[in-house]
């Protein structure tokens, strides 16, 4: 029987080398409607996806920051899970290989194995079921750098504390990016009471599938509206102008304080590397 550590190493391998088929399928669809440089960029992207899967090599030279979202049954030690992730990360960095990306802020030295203080990023919550659910995102730094957090209202962009204000925040973030961070993007939005709350919430939206529908009809309509407006900007694949700047927009909400309205915009590049494993305990 495979140990948790071995399963995690394979999760790393799958995430780093094989883009989810739903994303690849969407990229193939937009390839058919794009023209000129945008079409050529997508051609290279699709070839890259194919070769990475075939040769089991990382899709991108930046293998990103590992972010784990874990749902653990009652009675499973969180420290045990975290320690196994650390050990698996070291093995995966050496064997896949992953690029070493963990840099000590104090010394500016790279740890060499993708482990360090708060690295990988690990979120664990306890759930009342018999399954251990582990989801992994390898979050590229280029797209992470163009994410934005907003505190509404914002006079400069005419954003009030409402859904139209949220829409204006997202469009502002994408417009400011001007094609950096390797579009077409996958966009997660978090709305809530505090800065730390909405940044995690926006990241969680990146776990959702491209074609899923928000359970809330108002949010579903807003997701569709924002996606349509983003693609009207004409920034296009890799910033070469075109019809598709984003593949999907996903929104999560929490209650907010009467005096606060925070919006966080998390952006992933076209190489939106994510995988999931479900283990029966």
Q: What is the DSSP string of the chain?
A: ---HHHHHHHHHHHHHH---HHHHHHHHHHHTT--HHHHHHHHHHHHHHHHHHHHT--SSS---EEEEEEEEETT--HHHHHHHHHHHHHHHHHHTTPPP--B-TTT--B-SSS-BTTBSEEEEEEESSSEEEEEEEEE-HHHHHT-EEEES-BGGGTB-SSHHHHHHHHHHHHHHHTTTT-SSEEEEEEEESSHHHHHHHHHHHTTS-TT---SSHHHHHHHHHHHHHHHTT---GGGS--S-SEEEEEEEE----TT--EEEEEEE-S--EEEEEEEE-
What are the C-alpha distances in Å from 173 to residues 136, 163, 177? 25, 16, 6
Mean pLDDT, range 88-101, rounded to an integer: 98
Question: What percentage of the chain reaches a pLDDT higher than 90?
Answer: 98
Residue 1 confidence (pLDDT) above 90: no
Given this model, what pLDDT does residue 166 score? 98
Residue 215 CB: number of other CB atoms within 10 A?
7
Q: Model confidence over 265-279: pLDDT tens digits?
A: 999 999 999 999 999
Encode pLDDT of 185-238 as tens digits: 999 999 999 999 999 999 999 999 999 999 999 999 999 999 999 999 999 999
pLDDT of residue 281: 82
- Residue range 39-84, pLDDT digits in tens: 999 999 999 999 999 999 999 999 999 999 999 999 999 999 999 9
- Measure the CA–CA gap between 228 and 244, rounded to whole angstroms: 9
Give first-to-last CA distance, the chain, whole Å. Answer: 13
Q: What are the tokens at 98?
A: 């992953």
Does position 183 have pLDDT exceeding 50, yes or no? yes
Tell me which residue of 44, 55, 70 sits closest to 18, measured CA to CA.
55
Mean pLDDT for the chain overall: 97
pTM tops 0.85, yes or no? yes
């Amino acid at each position: 029987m495979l140990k948790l550590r071995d399963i995690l190493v394979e999760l790393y391998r799958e995430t780093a080398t094989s883009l989810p088929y739903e994303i690849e399928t969407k990229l193939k669809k937009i390839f058919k409607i794009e023209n000129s440089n945008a079409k050529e960029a997508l051609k290279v992207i699709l070839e890259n996806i194919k070769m990475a899967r075939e040769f089991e090599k990382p899709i991108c030279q930046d293998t990103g920051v590992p972010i784990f979202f874990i749902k653990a049954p009652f009675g499973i030690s969180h420290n045990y899970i975290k320690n196994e992730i650390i050990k698996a990360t070291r093995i995966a960095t050496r064997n896949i290989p992953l690029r070493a990306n963990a840099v000590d802020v104090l010394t500016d030295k790279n740890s060499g194995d993708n482990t360090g203080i708060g690295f990988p990023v690990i979120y664990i919550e306890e759930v009342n079921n018999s399954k251990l659910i582990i989801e992994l995102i390898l979050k590229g730094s280029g797209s992470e750098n163009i994410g934005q957090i907003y505190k509404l209202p914002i006079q400069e962009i005419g954003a009030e504390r409402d859904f139209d204000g949220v829409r204006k925040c997202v469009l502002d973030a994408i417009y400011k990016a001007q094609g950096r961070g390797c579009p077409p993007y996958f966009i997660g939005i978090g709305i809530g009471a505090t800065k730390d709350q909405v940044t995690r919430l926006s990241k969680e939206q990146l776990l959702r599938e491209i074609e899923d529908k928000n359970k809330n009809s108002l949010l579903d309509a807003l997701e569709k509206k924002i996606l349509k407006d983003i693609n009207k900007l004409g920034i296009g694949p890799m910033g070469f102008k075109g019809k598709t700047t984003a593949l999907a927009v996903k929104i999560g909400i929490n209650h907010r304080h009467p005096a606060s309205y925070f919006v966080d915009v998390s952006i992933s590049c076209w190489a939106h590397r994510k995988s999931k494993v479900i283990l029966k305990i």
